[in-house]
Amino acid sequence: MKIEQTVQVRIAEARRAYTFSWTFDPSAGERALQVGDRVEIPGNMVNEEGGSAVVSALGSDYSGPTKSIIRIIPERTAPEDDLWAGMDVV
């Protein structure tokens, strides 16, 4: 059973949080996102290649369309696996 979760993320030095969705299947060993998880997000008009962000809140009052988070970035990852490795994401 797939579950869709809505979260807010912080992207690099952005002053505001952005709302994304995350679809996961607990029966397949997948998990819900937690505050503090680093995630890969898809590209947009500003950054076509996408990047990484940090989950800053669970849920959102935003009611418009959302883009989907691509994956959870493992805690210990090689720099080439995290497009923004080493940058402070607050």
Number of domains in the chain: 1
Residue 35: domain span: 3-75
Within-domain flag for 69: yes
Does 88 fall in a domain?
Answer: no
Residue 21 lies in a domain: yes
pLDDT at site 87? 55
Question: 66: exposed, middle or buried (C-beta count within 10 Å: 0-12, 13-18, 19+)?
Answer: middle
Model pTM?
Answer: 0.80
Ranking 13-17, 28-32, 56-60, 80-84 by mean pLDDT, the lowest is 80-84
Q: Is residue 66 part of a domain?
A: yes
Looking at residue 44, what DSSP letter applies? Answer: -
In a domain, 82, yes or no: no
Q: What is the pLDDT of residues 5-36, one digit of tens each?
A: 999 999 987 889 999 999 999 999 999 999 99
Distance CA 33, CA 36 (A): 9
Residue 87 in domain: no
The reply to whether 59 falls in a domain is yes
